[in-house]
Amino acid sequence: MEQKLKNSILSTAREMIAGGLVEGTAGNLSARLSAERVILTPASLSYETMEASDLVITDLKGKVIEGKRQPTTEMALHLACLTHHADIAAVLHCHPVYASMFAINREPIPSLIEEFDIHVGGDVPVADYRETGSEALATEVSGHLGERGAVLMANHGLLCVGKDPEHALSIALLVERTAKIVWGARLMGKPFALPKSTHQKYSPLYKKARRIN
């Protein structure tokens, strides 16, 4: 179980790079190993060469239980999301280009496509600006995740959650793709909103899917 989860974090981290969601050593990932233990990516290490032994296991308060490296500098962010949302088991933070354009404009990414309601739960909200790595950022961001799979971090980037690392990655890729579509559609003209009845029909599917069995 532990080895499988570590491999899942490593492969997801490499896909995060391949998918253009981050560059260099930016971004970070975590997954819930048990009720009290979390596996986190380490600080400032290349994803291409990262191995299972480089990952760090901590408790929910951030005490290192296993691992020789420092956990990610955004550890508080991950632990706050996992602590306050028992129904999620993985957190992915990244800096994708189009989603970050919405983040620096401090503008939510609107749900204008049905699949966005189904997989993300609706518009992606914007958490207020707080300094990177701070407890204040962790509290602010985790507070926006009640009914959404993603939240924009003002003047910073994107955070996505899921039932496992692959699920969180799939949400990050969908959010980035949708941000690009909305950005382009606005250049072409004025995007139309979906009917309210569509949101009412599809958003609950996200909440249902998010429950961890």
CB of 156 to Zn ion, least distance (A): 6
130: closest CA among 138, 122, 118?
Answer: 138
Q: Which residues contact 62 (CB under 8 A, 6 or more apart)?
A: 71, 75, 76, 79
Map residues 103-142 to x or -, x wherever contact with Zn ion holds by CB under 5 A. Answer: ----------------------------------------
> Which residues does the annotation mark as catalytic?
74
Question: Which residue, 77 or 182, is less far from Zn ion as judged by CB?
Answer: 77
CB of 37 to Zn ion, least distance (A): 23
Rounded alpha-carbon distances, angstroms, from residue 106 to 5, 11, 115:
34, 31, 23
Map residues 29-68 to x or -, x wherever contact with Zn ion holds by CB under 5 A. Answer: ----------------------------------------
Q: Which stretch binds Zn ion (CB under 5 A): 57-65, 115-123, 155-163, 166-174?
A: 155-163
Query: Cα-atom radius of gyration of the chain, to the nearest Å?
Result: 16
Q: Which stretch binds Zn ion (CB under 5 A): 9-17, 48-56, 154-162, 195-203?
A: 154-162
Measured distance CA(79)–CA(61) in Å, rounded: 7
Residue 58, beta-bridge partner list: 38, 64
CB of 72 to Zn ion, least distance (A): 9
**Pair of tokens at residue 130:** 């707080």
Note the residues at the interface with Zn ion (CB under 5 A): 157
